[in-house]
Amino acid sequence: MRSDTTKTIEIIVSPEGKPVVKTKGFAGSSCRDASRFIEQALGQRTREKLTAEFHQNTPVQQAHQQRNG
């Protein structure tokens, strides 16, 4: 992932009042770290849909794999 990618967190509220938190531009589990405070404020998570970005390696993970691989 390029380091100049914009990272965003979107909070969408449905007409029924159900919030959806979407992260963009995060690699790996860093999206969870970034959105944790929002999820805690909104209450218990009811479901999670992981994107292709979630399955990408973060730069730290890539460096670790290169050294040990």
H or E element, residue 59: helix 59-68
Dihedral of CA 16/19/25/26: which sign?
Answer: negative
> Rounded to 5 degrees, what are φ and ψ at 9?
-125, 120
* Residue 4, Cβ density class (10 Å: 0-12 exposed, 13-18 middle, ≥19 buried): exposed
CB count, 10 Å around CB of 13? 10
What pLDDT is stored for residue 15 in this prediction? 94
What pLDDT is stored for residue 57 in this prediction? 65
pLDDT band at 61, cuts 50/70/90? very low
Per-residue pLDDT tens over the stretch 28-57:
888 888 888 998 898 877 888 877 777 776
What pLDDT is stored for residue 3 in this prediction? 55
For the cut 80, the answer to whether the pLDDT of residue 26 exceeds it is yes
